[in-house]
C-alpha cells in the first residue's frame, strides 16, 4: 500500500494524475514551450542561461525538464522537495539581460507565473481536445491542484489561478505584454530539428510532427504573433490530429514510448 508521502503532491485520485497520463501530454509540453516563449523575459532568460541555444545540448535539457515534470507529478513528497529545492536554487542564482540592457532575475514572480499558467493551460487544452472527458469541475480541480506544483518552483499558491476561468483570465491579461523575440523564433525553428542520441533516433523522426501539432494547437492569437494565420480550420485540424494522436499512441505496445525516451 502506498503512503501519503509516496503519493506525492496529488495522488491516484487526482485529476492531475488522470490528465498527465495521457499520451498527448507530450504535445502539451511543446505547446507550453511555444506559449511560454512569447514572454520576452522568459525567453531571453531561458536563451541566455540554458543549453537550449546549443543544438547539441538542447535534447538533454528537454529530457531534464521532462524528468522534473515527472517527479513533480508522480514523485514522493521527498523527491518533489529535492527537485524543487534544486530548481529554486538555480533560478535564484541567475539573472537575464533584456533588450534595453535591463538586468532581471529569473525567479521574478511574473516570469514564474507565466511559465506556470502557459504549462497548465497547455496540458488542459490538449487533454480536452485529445478526447478526455473533462467536466467544468474536473478542469477547475486540475487548475487548483496545480497550485501545489506552482509552490514547488517558489510561487505563492494564493497568487496562482485556482480555477480554469481565472487561468484563462490571467493569460488574457498578459497578452499585451507578449511578443515574439528573435530568440523565440530561433527556438521554435530549432525545436523541430534537434540532435538526439542514436538510441533515441525514432523520437527524432517524430519530433517535427509533434512540434507542428503543438504549434497548430496554440490559441489563434498566439499563432498570429508567430506570423502564421490564425485560421479556425487549423483549430479544427489540430483537434482532430490530437484525437488521432491519442488513439494511435494508445494502441502502441506498453512501455514503447517510455523505452524510447
- The continuous run of DSSP H or E covering 155 comes out as none
Alpha carbon distance 191, 168 (integer Å): 26
The pLDDT score that the predictor gives to residue 59 is 72
Query: For residue 259, what pLDDT is reported?
Result: 37
The three-class DSSP label of residue 97 is strand
Q: Quick: pLDDT tens for 233-257.
A: 999 999 999 999 998 886 665 443 4
Q: Which cell goes with 33?
A: 514551450
User: Which mean pLDDT values do the consecutive 10-residue runs of the chain (261 residues) have?
Assistant: 82 96 93 96 88 64 88 97 96 91 95 98 97 97 98 97 98 98 88 71 77 95 95 96 88 47 40
Instruction: Enter the pTM of the model.
Output: 0.91
Reduced 3-state DSSP string for 30-72: HHHHHHHCCCHHHHHHHHHHCHHHCHHHHHHHHHHHHHHHHHH
Give me the pLDDT at residue 204, please.
67
Q: Which of 147, 86, 77, 83 is nearest to 119 (CA)?
A: 147
Phi then psi for 105, rounded to 5 degrees?
-85, 145
pLDDT at 64 (0 to 100): 87
CB 205 within 8 A of CB 194: no
Q: Would you say 59 and 194 are in contact if contact means Cβ atoms under 8 Å apart?
A: yes
The predicted pLDDT at position 256 comes to 38
What's the whole-number average pLDDT of the chain?
89
Amino acid at each position: 500500500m502506498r503512503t501519503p508521502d509516496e503519493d506525492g503532491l496529488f495522488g491516484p485520485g487526482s485529476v492531475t494524475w488522470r490528465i498527465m497520463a495521457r499520451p498527448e501530454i507530450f504535445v502539451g509540453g511543446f505547446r507550453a514551450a511555444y506559449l511560454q516563449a512569447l514572454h520576452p523575459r522568459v525567453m531571453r532568460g531561458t536563451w541566455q542561461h540554458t543549453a537550449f541555444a546549443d543544438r547539441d545540448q538542447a535534447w538533454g535539457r528537454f529530457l531534464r525538464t521532462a524528468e522534473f515534470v515527472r517527479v513533480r507529478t508522480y514523485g514522493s513528497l521527498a523527491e518533489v522537495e529535492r527537485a524543487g529545492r534544486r530548481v529554486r536554487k538555480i533560478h535564484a542564482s541567475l539573472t537575464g539581460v533584456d533588450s534595453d540592457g535591463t538586468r532581471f532575475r529569473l525567479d521574478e514572480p511574473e516570469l514564474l507565473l507565466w511559465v506556470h499558467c502557459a504549462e497548465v493551460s497547455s496540458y488542459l487544452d490538449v487533454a480536452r481536445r485529445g478526447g478526455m472527458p473533462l467536466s467544468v469541475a474536473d478542469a477547475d480541480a486540475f487548475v487548483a491542484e496545480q497550485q501545489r506544483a506552482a509552490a514547488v518552483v517558489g510561487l505563492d499558491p494564493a497568487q496562482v489561478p485556482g480555477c480554469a476561468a481565472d487561468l484563462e483570465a490571467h493569460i488574457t491579461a498578459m497578452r499585451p505584454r507578449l511578443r515574439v523575440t528573435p530568440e523565440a523564433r530561433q527556438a521554435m525553428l530549432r525545436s523541430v530539428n534537434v540532435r538526439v542520441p542514436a538510441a533515441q533516433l525514432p523520437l527524432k523522426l517524430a519530433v517535427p510532427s509533434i512540434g507542428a501539432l503543438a504549434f497548430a494547437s496554440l490559441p489563434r492569437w498566439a499563432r498570429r504573433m508567430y506570423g502564421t494565420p490564425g485560421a479556425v480550420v487549423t483549430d479544427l485540424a489540430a483537434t482532430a490530429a490530437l484525437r488521432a494522436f491519442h488513439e494511435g499512441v494508445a494502441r502502441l505496445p506498453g512501455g514503447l514510448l517510455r523505452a524510447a525516451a
